[in-house]
Amino acid sequence: MKIGIFDSGIGGITVLHEALKVMPHEEFIYYADSEHAPYGTKPKEEVKDYVEQVVQFLEEKQIDVLVIACNTATSIAVKELRERYDFPIIGMEPAVKYALEQEKEKRILVTATDLTLKEEKYQHLVNKHDALARVDSLALPKLVELAEQNTFEREEVMAYLQDVLAPFDFDLYGAIVLGCTHFPYFKRFIQEIVPEHVKVYDGNLGTIRHLKRVLTNKHLSFSEHGGSIAFYYAGEEDSHNTILNSYLKRLT
């Protein structure tokens, strides 16, 4: 089975990481649109054009299913893409519902890109599940930039996170939701800053489990042997997966 995965850049590798654990023998094609990253700070129509170009590229590779491993791209384009293409399309959304189910009393802080938080899809998600108005939102655009630049130096990352998280009284919060696939690279830094009782969630594993259910329901067979990854970075194939492997190592 040929599974296409794409993101504005290397954030979706955090989703691919989960997919490799759940379905290790499939054929994956990953497209990092790092030439146009970040999506989350750009105009909506411009991002739609980038997304369409990437999906056309993956369609030409004859994928059987597409995973939009990007909350921003999902929020602005998934509906139109599903109307246009015949293969199943799996999107991402912040794990708001799951966090609220796990934390029954305290507040939830959802972190994402500016564009994700502004979109109607996110607002609908919160309104649907947050009956007691316990969800707050925070854009963390610099984390996307740091990840794309392969910048994980503790001093720089911690200084940024301490600054943006300082206004929040985390005694009032029970969870932080990582609503951008770039953010899990920085999960350990966030956990160092917030109190131990504050849980940190992302939607990556849930997305891959949903992908497997969709494929099972469509009676698509899973491979029992082999497995491969073709990795495209800013339109060019990284034949040795050097960039991919450097980011995967950060997740192990």
Per-residue pLDDT at 219 exceeds 90? no
Kind of pairing between the strands at 199-202 and 173-178: parallel
Query: Residue 174: which residues within 8 A CB-CB, separation 6 or more?
Result: 102, 103, 105, 106, 107, 108, 197, 198, 199
Domain-wise residue ranges, the chain: 2-92+204-251, 96-202
Pairing mode, strands 228-233 and 27-32:
parallel
Place of tokens 């194939």: 237
Q: How confident is the model at residue 128 (pLDDT cuts 50, 70, 90)?
A: very high
Helices (H), 31-168: 44-60, 71-84, 96-102, 114-118, 120-129, 141-148, 154-165
pLDDT at residue 69 tops 90: yes
- Please write the tens of the pLDDT for every residue from 130-172: 999 999 999 999 999 999 999 999 999 999 999 999 999 999 9
Query: What class has domain 2-92+204-251?
Result: alpha beta
What is the arithmetic mean of pLDDT over 111-128?
96
| Residue 250 pLDDT > 90 | yes
pTM above 0.85, yes or no: yes
Torsion angle defined by CA atoms of residues 17, 19, 25 and 30, in that order, rounded to the nearest 10 degrees = -70
CA angle 123, 129, 131 (to 5 degrees): 100
Instruction: Tell me the pLDDT band of 221, cut-offs 50, 70 and 90.
Output: confident
- Give the CATH fold of the 96-202 domain: Rossmann fold (3.40.50)
Q: Could you list the residues known to form a binding site for substrate, using ranges.
A: 7-8, 39-40, 71-72, 181-182
Residues annotated in the binding site, as ranges?
Answer: 7-8, 39-40, 71-72, 181-182
pLDDT at 19 over 90: yes
Report helix, strand or coil for 70.
coil
What is the pairing mode between strands 65-68 and 89-90?
Answer: parallel
Chain-centre distance for alpha carbon 29: 16
Q: Mean per-residue pLDDT for 90-96?
A: 97
CA 96 from chain centre, in angstroms, equals: 14
The residues annotated with a catalytic role in the active site are: 70, 180
User: Which one is predicted more confidently, 214 or 252?
Assistant: 214
**How far is 50 from 58, CA to CA, in rounded Å?**
13
Question: Taking a C-beta distance cutoff of 8 angstroms, is the pair 6, 31 a contact?
Answer: yes
Q: What does the DSSP assignment read for 148-202?
A: HTT---HHHHHHHHHHHHTT--GGGEEEEEE-STTGGGGHHHHHHHS-TT-EEEE
